[in-house]
């Protein structure tokens, strides 16, 4: 009975209620015509229930989003292919997609009657103003009878996702960015010093170009030797993102975490364009080491799109993982909230002698958090920058009005320690 009640529309419930009242009144008053009208209303509701359930709703849904990775405010076209898997023709179906609220209003469309095995494809566009992984699906479907008395609802499984990447803003080029030390991989530092035309000599291998045979070396060793141009060593840049819940404040696009994610993405793109080999390290509780390591911009942006606030001890895993990457030197960039004295000293130790370290420390107070001040009245962000600055870092404190370009200019516009 409860299932039937849920299947009735408002009109259907009114018809059923009126039918019951008329039947009861006709029987009590001896009015057969009134009874007949009541029976007719009840029969109409019963026929509607049969009509709406005579067809199966075995529909298969397949979704594709093009492109599946978009930038903020960029549109993606979602194609929904609905296939009738029943052995009979499906009824006309009213469909509504379940999508994350950030993608906009839920699309509604009508799927016509489909013969067995046929497919109907529908397209719609989505756009998000916020980064993240946004879910699409399942598909909610509804079938009404011709009289509008009953309604049958179901949810067809199958989900897809649209990855909205963080915004990448253009950063100014500092005079110190073109310099840097630390090399990527096992290529010797001398290669980077002498340029791309450096050559080494090795034994001839089948398939080598005969024009690359080095005759003086071949005469000296008595075996064929060929020239091999060495790959120039790339400078290394390590970007550390702090996603601790205790280090950030605010909500939505105006939160300090969103500012840090945008800045980390922009710095990664900027230093990669400047010829650096980029290493982005973020907290990842699901990883064995507790940290996620991305090399390159594409994978880094995908990771940044999925970043959310995590536990306060997540940064320690990032600092531990970064120590292995920064041991050979290179540019170290920290983007995040204030640190405790122990964590600040651990971060400061990542900058190797002769290398550069820059830190953009957000002040959660200006992003909506509660003020946290030390005994001498300084904010926690200012205290962190003082510890790092004493270890040779170039630092700046960021508030909610500071743009990523302004913060980057503040740390790279001046001469970095250790860079000649």
- For 300-350, the pLDDT digits (tens) are 999 999 999 999 888 999 999 999 899 888 899 999 999 999 999 999 999
pLDDT band, residue 369 (cuts 50/70/90) = low
In a domain, 126, yes or no: yes
Q: Where a domain ends, among 21, 38, 53?
A: 53
Looking at the fold, whether 380 and 254 belong to one and the same domain comes out as: yes
First to last CA, the chain: 83
Instruction: Tell me what pLDDT residue 193 has.
Output: 32
Q: Which residue has the higher pLDDT, 76 or 201?
A: 76
**Closest to 165 in 3D by CA, of 74, 278, 260:** 74
Q: Which of 177, 195, 229 is the last residue of a domain?
A: 229
pLDDT tens string 105-118:
899 999 998 999 99
Residue 308: per-residue pLDDT: 92
Preceding peptide of 138 cis, ω within 30°: yes
As to burial, measured by CB atoms within 10 angstroms (0-12 exposed, 13-18 middle, 19+ buried), residue 157 is exposed
- Predicted pLDDT at 197: 40
Mean pLDDT of the chain: 84
pLDDT over 90 percentage in the chain: 50
Same domain, 219 and 282: no
User: For residues 367 and 333, is the Cβ–Cβ distance under 8 A?
Assistant: no
**138 shares its domain with 243:** no
Indicate whether 234 pLDDT > 80. no
Number of residues written out for the chain: 420
Of 165, 190, 213, the residue at which a domain comes to its end is 165
Question: How would residue 157 be classed by pLDDT, with cut points 50, 70 and 90?
Answer: confident
Examine the domain organization and report whether 157 and 209 are in the same domain: no
The answer to whether position 419 is within a domain reads no
Of 248, 255, 247, 306, nearest to 280 by C-alpha is: 306
The pLDDT assigned to 187 comes to 39
- The answer to whether residues 49 and 99 belong to one domain is no
Which residue range forms the structural domain that includes residue 294?
A: 235-412
Quick one: the chain helix, strand, coil %, rounded to 5? 35, 30, 35
Confidence at 198, pLDDT banded by 50, 70, 90: very low
Over the stretch 168-180, which tens digit does the pLDDT of each residue have? 999 988 655 544 4
pLDDT band at 414 (very low <50, low <70, confident <90, very high): very low
Q: Are residues 276 and 257 in the same domain?
A: yes
pLDDT in tens, 203-231: 877 667 777 788 888 888 888 888 765 54
pLDDT digits (tens, 9 = 90+) for 35-77: 999 999 999 989 888 888 777 778 899 999 999 899 999 999 9
What pLDDT, on a 0 to 100 scale, did the predictor assign at position 332? Answer: 95
pLDDT of residue 191: 33
Kindly state the percentage of the chain with pLDDT values over 70: 86
Label residue 400 exposed, middle or buried (CB < 10 Å: 0-12, 13-18, 19+): middle
Give the span between the Cα atoms of 389 and 185, in whole angstroms: 29
Looking at the fold, whether 77 and 47 belong to one and the same domain comes out as: no
Q: Is the full-model pTM beyond 0.85? A: no
Contact assessment for residue 131 and residue 168, using Cβ atoms and an 8 Å cutoff: no
Are the C-beta atoms of residues 289 and 299 closer than 8 Å to each other?
Answer: no
List, in order, residues 6 or more apart from 210 with CB less than 8 Å away: none
Choose the weakest-confidence range: 19-28, 190-199, 360-369. 190-199
Query: Which residues are CB-neighbours of 6 under 8 A, at least 6 positions away?
Result: none
Residue with tokens 């509008």: 148
Whether residues 254 and 402 fall in one domain: yes
Query: Is residue 198 in some structural domain?
Result: no
Res 382 pLDDT > 60: yes
On the question of pLDDT at 31 being above 60, the answer is: yes
What is the rounded average pLDDT of the residues 269-275? 92
As a dihedral over the C-alpha atoms of residue 383, residue 388, residue 391, residue 396, rounded to 10 degrees, the angle is -110
279 plus 357 within the same structural domain: yes
pLDDT of amino acid 217: 85
Residue 181 lies in a domain: no
Count structural domains, the chain.
4
pLDDT at 192 over 50: no
Instruction: Kindly write down the DSSP assignment for every residue of 66-99, as one continuous string.
Output: ESSEEETT-EEEEEEEEEE-SSSPPPPEEEEEEE
Q: Is residue 187 part of a domain?
A: no
Q: Which residues have CB under 8 Å from 224's CB, separation 6+?
A: 203, 204, 213, 218
Shared-domain flag, residues 69 and 98: yes
Domain identity same for 359 and 287: yes
For the ranges 19-23, 151-155, 272-276, 384-388, which has the lowest average pLDDT?
Answer: 151-155
pLDDT at 402 over 50: yes
Tell me: do 347 and 293 sit in the same domain: yes
What pLDDT sits at residue 278?
A: 94
Can you give the pLDDT at residue 346?
94
Structure-token match 């980064």, residue found: 131
């Amino acid at each position: 009975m409860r299932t039937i009640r849920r299947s009735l529309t408002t009109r259907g419930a009114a018809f059923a209620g009126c039918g019951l009242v008329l039947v009861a009144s006709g029987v009590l008053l001896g009015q057969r015509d009134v009874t007949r009208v009541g029976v007719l209303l009840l029969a109409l509701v019963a026929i509607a229930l049969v009509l709406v359930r005579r067809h199966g709703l075995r529909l298969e849904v397949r979704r594709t989003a093009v492109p599946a990775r978009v930038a903020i405010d960029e549109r993606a076209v979602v194609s929904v292919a609905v296939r009738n898997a029943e052995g009979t023709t499906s009824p006309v179906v009213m469909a509504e997609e379940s999508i994350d609220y950030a993608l906009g209003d839920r699309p509604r469309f009508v799927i016509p009657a489909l013969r067995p095995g046929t497919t109907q494809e529908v397209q719609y566009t989505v756009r998000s103003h916020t980064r993240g992984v946004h879910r699409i699906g399942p598909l909610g479907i509804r079938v009404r009878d011709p009289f509008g008395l009953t309604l049958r609802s179901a949810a067809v499984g199958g989900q897809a996702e649209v990855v909205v990447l963080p915004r990448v803003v253009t950063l100014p080029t500092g005079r110190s960015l073109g310099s840097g030390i630390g090399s990527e991989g096992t290529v010797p530092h001398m290669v980077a010093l002498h340029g791309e035309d450096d050559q080494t000599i090795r034994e001839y291998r089948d398939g080598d170009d005969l024009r690359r045979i080095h005759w003086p070396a071949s005469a000296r060793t008595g075996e064929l030797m060929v020239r091999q141009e060495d790959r120039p060593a790339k400078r290394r840049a390590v970007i550390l993102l702090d996603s601790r819940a205790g280090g950030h404040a605010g909500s939505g696009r105006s939160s300090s975490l969103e500012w840090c994610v945008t800045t980390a993405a922009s710095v990664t793109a900027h230093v990669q364009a400047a010829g650096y080999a980029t290493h982005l390290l973020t907290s990842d509780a699901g990883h064995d080491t507790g940290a996620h390591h991305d090399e390159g911009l594409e994978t880094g942006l995908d990771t940044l799109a999925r970043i959310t606030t995590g536990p306060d001890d997540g940064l320690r895993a990032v600092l531990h993982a970064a120590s292995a990457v920064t041991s050979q030197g290179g540019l170290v960039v920290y983007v995040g909230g204030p640190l405790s004295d122990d964590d600040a000293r651990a971060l400061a130790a990542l900058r190797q002698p002769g290398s550069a370290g820059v830190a953009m420390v957000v002040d959660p107070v200006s992003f909506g958090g509660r003020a946290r001040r030390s005994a001498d009245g300084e904010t926690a962000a200012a205290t962190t920058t003082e510890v790092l600055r004493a270890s040779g870092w170039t630092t700046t404190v960021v508030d909610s009005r500071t743009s990523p370009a302004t913060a980057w200019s503040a740390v790279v516009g001046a001469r970095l320690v250790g860079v000649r």
